[in-house]
Amino acid sequence: MKEPKFKRYNRRQFLFFFKRALYILFAWVLISNLLFFYEFLTLYSNGILDSDYDFNQSFYANLIVAVTAGIIGGTLTVNLMDRWLRNNAFWKALLYITVAYVIGAMVVSTFGALYFYSEELGLPFYDAQVTVKFKAFFGTWLFIKNFVVWLFIVIVTLIVLMVNEKYGPGVFPDYLLGRYFRPKKERRIFMFADIKNATGIAESLGETKYFNFLKDFFRDIAPAIVQCRGEVYQYVGDEIVISWKMKYGLRSGNTIRCFYNMKRMLRYRKERYMDRYGYFPEFKVGIHCGTVMVGEIGKIKREIAFSGDVLNTTSRIQEQCKVYDVDILASETFADLAYTLPRGIVKKDLGDETLRGKAEDTGIVTYVRE
């Protein structure tokens, strides 16, 4: 039996979306007020304002527009526009976003204009005189200017979300500020996630269908990675490499939580995978942490790259999942630091293992539900 859609999201996921919407609300209200005061001070300093100008009326009308735009934008922009960009061809997503923006702009302007003219005329917002002025407002220069300004704000917001999604939470500001221009050492957590029986599935599905299979897999697990503060380092065939800064990966058991959230999000879509491909993407992961070198590389295509023995060790740990017949293995080094685990998850020691290419034994653990 298919689980109701509203039950597919736990409290942390709802909190994630709520916080992101709240950030957009706060940012848009702040930007709107800064623009308002900039215009007011410009007009005031040039002596353009006359005695008929009502500061309170204009300020509250602007605030109503900003808050309404923030509430609508915080939910619509984040949850719908972002999803359209993920799941549709760019031209189609752009068309959907344009239509949504025009509708949103009309709704937001309606609230602001009705309040402004109602206050100006001292009449209820449903009065005929207010309605006449309200209809005329949509042909004014003020409306056109606000339409263009808010279109720019929405586009910039979407760009920030897309870039943040590409580089991972917190990575883009580091990249923008040039913190990785010169290589430096960082302590990081890495997770290598690999689809089981990928070769057999690829041979059965064929190139085109298998590519779409991988595309759906990477897309469906993406929300779990973002919500757990993970950064997608790279895609290598059927494998995805996820990285965390230590403080983000250890906080609230994010690294282990990410694995279980990815499993859960795929499980909700099992029926779709079976109908579309006849296969369901089971996967296994290896986790390790340690010091790596990180910096920008490349001339034609620049990107942030990691190097160090930590990555090799993580890959070798993941290979052992088949040996132990488990879906998750981690180094004892990581497990000793990750003492905060998701509710109901416990660590199980598996002893020491001689990993391929390693001279010394490595302690490994797995995680199971109580």
| Judgement on whether residues 163 and 175 belong to the same structural domain of the protein | no
Closest-CA residue to 264 (of 283, 248, 279, 288): 283
Q: Are 309 and 290 in contact (CB under 8 A)?
A: yes
Tell me, yes or no, whether 338 and 244 share the same domain: yes
CATH of residue 236: 3.30.70.1230
Dist. CA 244–CA 283, nearest whole Å: 20
Q: Does residue 113 sit in the same domain as residue 216? A: no
196 and 107 within one domain? no
Q: Where are the beta strands (DSSP E) in 298-344?
A: 303-307, 328-331
Mean pLDDT of 289-304: 81
Q: What angle do CA 168, 305, 192 make, to 5 degrees?
A: 70
Give the pLDDT confidence of 305-333 residue by residue, as tens digits.
Answer: 888 999 999 999 999 999 999 999 999 99
Same domain, 176 and 163: no
Q: Are residues 148 and 278 in the same domain?
A: no
Last residue of a domain, one of 167, 196, 225: 167
Containing structural domain, residue 305: 171-369
pTM of the model: 0.69
Q: Please tell me whether residues 40 and 139 are part of one structural domain.
A: yes
Angstrom distances, CA of residue 73 to CA of 12, 29, 148, 354: 21, 11, 15, 53
Instruction: Tell me the chain's radius of gyration from C-alpha atoms.
Output: 26
Q: How many CB atoms lie within 10 A of CB 171?
A: 20
Residue range 208-260, pLDDT digits in tens: 999 999 999 998 998 889 888 898 888 888 999 999 999 999 998 999 999 99
User: Same domain for 179 and 285?
Assistant: yes
Q: How many domains does the structure of the chain reveal?
A: 2
- The CA–CA distances, whole Å, from 48 to 38, 41, 112 equal 14, 10, 23
My answer on whether 90 and 29 are in the same domain is yes
Model confidence pLDDT, tens digit, residues 77-110: 666 666 676 667 767 777 877 787 788 888 888 8
Are residues 355 and 258 located together in one domain of the fold? yes
Mean pLDDT of the chain: 83
